[in-house]
Chains A and B, each alone.
Chain A
């Protein structure tokens, strides 16, 4: 068997992990969440969730990954099996392979919009569209949702950019961990930060773009983002939104952190490196993500319109409001391209991570060479990605986003926490380095996990995190899981109950649900085959 892949450099690892975490949500989702949920006051539940749930879960997933990697397991299926001596462990863990794969099926399509829009910015394709409604029609025409044919006669352009994005992803993962993913991160992440800083400076120096409307200025934008509304803190949904934002932004519960961490060496540090990843993500989110879209929107459209855009959704902010703004800026085509390339870099560094667990399963457990495994993953993404494109107008993606991007993420995070805290069993060893001495008895539960987490750590984890991991994190996750379900069931547009959906559209949503179930069962079957081969 060929030697296990490893990260070439530590900074490459941090950037790749940060690239996994920094995604479109940092720049489009976060500013909306802050603006809609109490402004500056939102930062109280946000930082509480970061410290009490985000950081401990990040350490937990890094530790799981490194521990499983010692036994040659790069996926959560093997890692659950290594941690928990139960025949069902690998099947529960296999969700950590199907979640990212299903996620990638629609995430890559959204990512391809950013590539397309950077091209449209450079070629000034949307220039001349000044009204919000028309720009929305432009987006829908591109996506094939609107059949007006006013801007795009067919969905071919969307498929073209999707295919380029898909091929780029497959090319990167086909080159492997250090030569593909790590190199991409070393180029894309510094550029992402550079572009982000340039755009923030551009926003900060805007002042009052139109002197006929003195109240439309950047400071009003920052005021909308940051002026605290403490009354919101009594609303449970604000706390849920803050915890959710931390959850999504750190890519927790996707199974990708564990796969990346499995390529660590046995005595590599998990704690400082994991914290650095979280810090990089938080900087990209709070400082860069919070200072671009909302402030610039207030400066150009005013507060009332921005509030309306923020309520409508992240895509309206990114793909409808921003292209109108860029037309009003000097060198707008340049800044527009920069904004969308920044989003593309944020997207691709995340999507290559989403494909890595299945790649690892195919390579490790079935011995498929890297290039061929990448092609297989590409083929699956192509076939199962097509319905996402063609059925977008029927709410196909909404089903994916709710079941995969919300419910299953929380479910996997809850399972891994429960296993780590209550069922983890590992041999008790003495000493450090390769020549650990086996004492022949086991440590169980969080004691084992804590020992594994602290091993080779470059900073000491405060003991309070032991109790946070044991009591608070599982509680947090149960509340999140139930809270999201409860919120959806009460909503007038409930995804679970398909409330307010026309009966002819329900069929497409059921197809989405069956695809999700099919992929989960299919991956479970692959895991069964893999273990049978091993035996």
Chain B
């Protein structure tokens, strides 16, 4: 895999993983 492939793989996976993590963090975060 070339460097472009790695960049798109890391960014693609990173974006969706960050989004799901942030969403579930907000959902499960205890409300004050």
Please list the residues of chain A having a beta carbon within 8 angstroms of any beta carbon in chain B: 10-11, 14, 39-41, 43, 47, 219-220, 222-223, 225-228, 272-273, 275-276, 278-280, 282-283, 285-287, 290, 458-459
Tell me if B20 and A458 are in contact (CB < 8 A): no
Q: Which of B8, B22, B23 has a CB less than 8 Å from the CB of A226? A: B8
CB of B26 within 8 Å of the partner chain? yes
Which chain A residues border B2 with CB–CB below 8 Å? 223, 227
Which chain A residues border B8 with CB–CB below 8 Å? 39-41, 43, 226, 228
Tell me if A276 and B4 are in contact (CB < 8 A): no
For B22, B23, B27, the residue with the greatest tally of chain A CB atoms inside 10 Å of its CB is: B23
How far does the alpha carbon of A16 sit from the alpha carbon of B23 in the complex, in Å?
16
Which chain A residues border B11 with CB–CB below 8 Å? 43
How far does the alpha carbon of A223 sit from the alpha carbon of B19 in the complex, in Å?
24
How many residues of chain B are within 8 Å of chain A by beta carbon? 21
B1-32: which residues lie under 8 A (CB-CB) from chain A? 1-2, 4-9, 11-13, 15-17, 19-20, 22-24, 26-27
Which chain A residues border B5 with CB–CB below 8 Å? 39-40, 222-223, 225-228
Q: Which of B7, B20, B22 has a CB less than 8 Å from the CB of A280? A: B20
How far does the alpha carbon of A39 sit from the alpha carbon of B7 in the complex, in Å?
12
Tell me if A228 and B23 are in contact (CB < 8 A): no
How far does the alpha carbon of A365 sit from the alpha carbon of B12 in the complex, in Å?
45
Which chain A residues border B6 with CB–CB below 8 Å? 226
Tell me if B1 and A272 are in contact (CB < 8 A): no
How far does the alpha carbon of A137 sit from the alpha carbon of B20 in the complex, in Å?
41
Given contacts A10-B27, A40-B9, A43-B8, whether A287 and B1 have CB atoms under 8 Å apart is no
Which chain B residues border A458 with CB–CB below 8 Å? 26
Q: Tell me, rounded to whole Å, the shortest Cβ–Cβ distance linking B28 to chain A.
A: 8
How far does the alpha carbon of A272 sit from the alpha carbon of B24 in the complex, in Å?
9
Given contacts A43-B8, A275-B23, A276-B27, whether A286 and B1 have CB atoms under 8 Å apart is no
Given contacts A39-B8, A223-B5, whether A286 and B26 have CB atoms under 8 Å apart is no
Given contacts A11-B27, A40-B9, A276-B24, whether A282 and B16 have CB atoms under 8 Å apart is yes
Tell me if B13 and A272 are in contact (CB < 8 A): no
* Extra inter-chain contacts (15) besides given A278-B19, A286-B16, CB under 8 Å: A14-B27, A40-B7, A40-B8, A40-B9, A43-B8, A43-B11, A223-B1, A226-B8, A226-B12, A227-B1, A228-B4, A276-B23, A276-B24, A283-B20, A285-B16
Which chain A residues border B12 with CB–CB below 8 Å? 40, 43, 47, 226, 286, 290
How far does the alpha carbon of A459 sit from the alpha carbon of B26 in the complex, in Å?
9
Pick 26 A–B contacts, CB within 8 A, sort by A.
Answer: A14-B27, A40-B5, A40-B9, A40-B12, A47-B12, A219-B1, A223-B5, A226-B1, A226-B5, A227-B1, A227-B2, A228-B4, A228-B5, A228-B8, A273-B27, A275-B23, A278-B19, A279-B19, A279-B23, A280-B20, A282-B16, A282-B20, A283-B20, A287-B16, A290-B12, A458-B26
The A contact surface, by secondary structure, is helix
Q: Tell me, rounded to whole Å, the shortest Cβ–Cβ distance linking A49 to chain B.
A: 14
How far does the alpha carbon of A415 sit from the alpha carbon of B16 in the complex, in Å?
29
**Minimum-distance CB pairs A-B, first 5:** A40-B8, A276-B23, A223-B1, A226-B5, A227-B5
Which chain B residues border A278 with CB–CB below 8 Å? 19
How far does the alpha carbon of A290 sit from the alpha carbon of B27 in the complex, in Å?
27
Which chain A residues border B22 with CB–CB below 8 Å? 279
For B6, B12, B13, the residue with the greatest tally of chain A CB atoms inside 10 Å of its CB is: B12
**A222, closest chain B residue (CB):** B1
How far does the alpha carbon of A311 sit from the alpha carbon of B29 in the complex, in Å?
45
**A458, closest chain B residue (CB):** B26
Tell me if A286 and B4 are in contact (CB < 8 A): no
Tell me if A222 and B27 are in contact (CB < 8 A): no
Tell me if A287 and B17 are in contact (CB < 8 A): yes
Which chain B residues border A279 with CB–CB below 8 Å? 16, 19-20, 22-23
Q: Tell me, rounded to whole Å, the shortest Cβ–Cβ distance linking B23 to chain A.
A: 4
Which chain B residues border A220 with CB–CB below 8 Å? 1
**A223, closest chain B residue (CB):** B1
Q: Tell me, rounded to whole Å, the shortest Cβ–Cβ distance linking B29 to chain A.
A: 10
Tell me if A272 and B26 are in contact (CB < 8 A): yes
Which chain B residues border A14 with CB–CB below 8 Å? 27
Given contacts A219-B1, A273-B27, whether A282 and B9 have CB atoms under 8 Å apart is no
Which chain A residues border B23 with CB–CB below 8 Å? 272, 275-276, 279-280
Which chain B residues border A272 with CB–CB below 8 Å? 23, 26-27
